């Protein structure tokens, strides 16, 4: 009987775990190698004990979009459908810092007309969007170029840019639209414009409801944090999962690949799937794919972090109800965004507490390197000046992700394709450095890489 072909997956974040799950479903022999002492990567939840209950704190993503079905479908495969919760409409009560003051994002027509966020001229320009010509080719462009072309420059600077910049922690003048917001290009291509697409999709949604299609919330989450998804993956995996396993060398030996670990052990495989960030993968591939490694090293990865502060509810009252505050780089603040987790997802903490999550690192990468004490001082100063919270928090839980947040510049997808074409046969890439940073994107890439490896091995 011929020996089973083996795959080694490098990296145990959500991409790597999804790849291993797919390998197991396909009956492939696999090993997963993770250098840290836990699996899940940035899908990382901490639970703190509070008088009267628990605080559920996600350090990385806390929810996933269901329009891209991969995360939802995986949760259902794992038997977690009944454990998923609706985190609510994340667009409610969103503010943008403008001139040092929070200004509500106008979502209704009357609110849009009255909003001080943009000038009358800019509002009139936005109303011409349905009459702007659609892009005639499928070439990449920056997020800034797309928004300016369709809605005008002020809409970018004051409205769209701060919102998407807060999500992606990046510069819209360099960020690839095809990576950060491909749906906007799809809307333009399918309907001729954004406003037309919104109406068209609303009509399609109503038809789907009439046809009895499954109704899903816009976002999915878990009551005890997104790590529930990663933990259940680990619980159902039966193969070789290795923690605290650092790779010192990747080599090719005939038709096989050899992975040497820091403890001296050598593992052999017929195919390799790298789910580590591109800057890490570049170092690992240097001996077997120098050209790919050199190009991987050009993909920038910025510092990013979150810190969650828990207050007594009466100590975290703001002048207006705020679910989220986006902070444009032009404001020159030390933080990038603020979200009131306890308002967005009330089950994350007892009613007598308020949980606030602060994002940092995008505009000021050096803040990720601060000590816990200096970070707390900086963040509390920002909260005091921006939303008037002066009390001391009961708990503060920081997460830091140095040099691990990928920046997809214009032409990024072409670069990734070029890198993949230079790889030796049997080597595959997946993860947030390549074709999208969201949880569904990472899951899709991990599973797809295994399918490609299986096709190669057969």
Lowest mean pLDDT, pick from 42-51, 183-192, 198-207: 198-207
pLDDT tens-digit readout, 418-435: 999 999 999 999 999 999
Tokens of 42: 């940035």
Q: Report the C-alpha gap between 49 and 417 in whole angstroms.
A: 47
Tell me the average pLDDT of the chain: 93
For the domain made up of 6-41+230-299+408-457, the CATH class stated in words is alpha beta
pLDDT for res 2: 55
* Averaged pLDDT for residues 37-62: 95
pLDDT for res 209: 66
Task: Please give the full DSSP string across 372-437, using - where no structure is assigned.
Answer: HHHHHHHHHHHHHHHH---SPPSEEEEEEEEEEEE--BTTHHHHHHHHHHHSPTTEEE-STTTS--
Alpha-carbon separation of residue 216 from 19, 211, 219, 437 (angstroms): 25, 14, 8, 22
Q: Report the C-alpha gap between 145 and 136 in whole angstroms.
A: 14
- The residue ranges of every structural domain in the chain are 6-41+230-299+408-457, 45-90+301-406, 119-133+140-210
Q: Report the C-alpha gap between 446 and 267 in whole angstroms.
A: 21
pLDDT for res 214: 67
pLDDT at 132 over 60: yes
* Averaged pLDDT for residues 255-271: 96
Tokens of 327: 């902070």
pLDDT band at 255 (very low <50, low <70, confident <90, very high): confident
Tokens of 78: 């794992």
pLDDT for res 1: 42
pLDDT for res 91: 54
Task: Please give the full DSSP string across 222-264, using - where no structure is assigned.
Answer: ETT-THHHHHHHHHH--SEEESS--EEEEEEETTEEEEEETTS
Tell me which of 253 and 46 has the higher pLDDT.
Answer: 46
* Cβ–Cβ < 8 Å for 295, 422: yes
- Per CATH, domain 45-90+301-406 is 3.90.660.20: yes
Beta strand pairing call for 271-274 and 219-222: unpaired
What pTM did the predictor assign?
0.94
- The CATH number that domain 119-133+140-210 falls under is 1.10.3110.10
Tokens of 220: 């999915």
């Amino acid at each position: 009987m011929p020996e089973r072909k083996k795959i080694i997956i490098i990296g145990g974040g959500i991409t790597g775990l999804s790849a291993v799950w797919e390998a197991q479903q396909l009956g492939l022999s696999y090993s997963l190698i993770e250098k840290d002492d836990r699996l899940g990567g940035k899908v990382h939840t901490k639970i703190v004990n509070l008088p009267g209950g628990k605080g559920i704190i996600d350090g990385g993503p806390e929810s996933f979009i269901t329009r891209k079905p991969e995360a939802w479908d995986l949760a259902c495969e794992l038997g977690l459908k009944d454990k998923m919760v609706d985190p609510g409409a994340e667009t409610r009560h969103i503010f943008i810092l403008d001139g040092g003051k929070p200004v509500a994002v106008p979502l209704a027509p009357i609110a849009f007309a009255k909003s001080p966020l943009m000038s009358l001229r800019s509002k009139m320009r936005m109303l011409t969007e349905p009459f702007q010509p659609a892009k005639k080719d499928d070439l990449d462009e920056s997020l800034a170029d797309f928004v300016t072309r369709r809605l005008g420059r002020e809409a970018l600077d004051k409205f769209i840019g701060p919102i998407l910049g807060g999500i992606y922690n990046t510069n819209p003048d360099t960020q690839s639209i095809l990576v950060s917001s491909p749906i906007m290009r799809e809307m333009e291509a399918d309907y001729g414009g954004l406003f037309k697409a919104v109406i068209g999709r609303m009509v399609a949604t109503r038809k789907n409801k009439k046809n009895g299609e499954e109704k899903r919330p816009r976002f999915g989450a878990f009551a005890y944090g997104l790590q529930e998804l990663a933990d259940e993956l680990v619980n159902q995996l039966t193969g070789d999962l290795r923690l605290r396993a650092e790779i010192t060398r990747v080599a090719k030996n005939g038709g096989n690949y050899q992975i040497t670990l820091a403890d001296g052990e050598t593992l052999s495989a017929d195919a390799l799937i790298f789910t580590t960030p591109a800057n890490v993968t570049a170092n690992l591939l240097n001996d077997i794919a120098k050209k790919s490694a050199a190009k991987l090293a050009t993909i920038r990865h910025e510092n990013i972090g979150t810190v969650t502060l828990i207050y007594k509810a009466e100590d975290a009252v703001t002048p207006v109800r705020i679910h989220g505050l986006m902070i444009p780089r032009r404001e020159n603040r030390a933080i990038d965004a603020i979200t009131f987790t306890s308002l967005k997802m009330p089950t994350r903490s007892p009613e007598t507490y308020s949980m606030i999550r602060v994002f940092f690192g995008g505009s000021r990468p050096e803040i990720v390197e601060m000590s816990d004490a200096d970070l707390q001082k900086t963040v509390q100063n920002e909260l005091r000046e921006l939303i008037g919270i002066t009390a001391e928090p009961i708990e503060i839980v920081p997460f830091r992700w140095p040099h691990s947040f990928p920046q997809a510049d214009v032409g990024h997808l072409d670069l990734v394709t070029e890198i993949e074409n230079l790889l030796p046969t049997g080597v595959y890439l997946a993860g947030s450095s390549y074709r999208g940073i969201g949880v569904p994107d990472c899951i899709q890439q991990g599973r797809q890489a295994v399918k490609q490896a299986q096709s190669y091995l057969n």
